[in-house]
Amino acid sequence: MKLTLQPNNARTTPALDRLIETRLLALSDHQLIDEAIVKFSDEPEASPRFQASILIRIAGPDIHAATCDQTLRVAVEKAIASVENQVFARQARRRSRRKSQLQLPATPRTGRAW
């Protein structure tokens, strides 16, 4: 997995960098991730002040999330949680489709009437 951190007008801490890395590595155990791009910015005039966005490149449609909060850490945690929820929801849909396909007899599944 290629991890890219793009701070835009925001100072990061090593603890925040480790948090991002560990959560995304844990997520890569569930879903193969080609690339993860994490962008965060500090907009002093905006309320809430900090913005974070994550783009995960995986097989199939990419997953992305963007959040805002009063602290950079919480904004990043919310974005990561949103990405994790999307990955787990996609896996649950895939599992439910697989179960429903397995429960049907072969005739309706293939469209062949022999």
- Tens digits of per-residue pLDDT, 66-86? 999 999 999 999 999 999 999
Write out the two tokens for 69.
């909060």
Residue that wins the pLDDT comparison between 22 and 97: 22
What is the C-alpha separation between 79 and 37, in angstroms, rounded? 12
The Cβ-side half-sphere exposure at 69, using a 13 Å CA radius, reads 14
**Residue 31 in this model has a pLDDT that exceeds 70:** yes
pTM of the model: 0.82
- Segments making up each domain of the chain, as ranges: 2-103
Q: Is residue 83 classed exposed, middle or buried when 0-12, 13-18 and 19+ CB atoms within 10 A define those classes?
A: buried
**CATH superfamily, region 2-103:** Ribosome hibernation promotion factor-like (3.30.160.100)
**Residue 103 in this model has a pLDDT that exceeds 80:** no
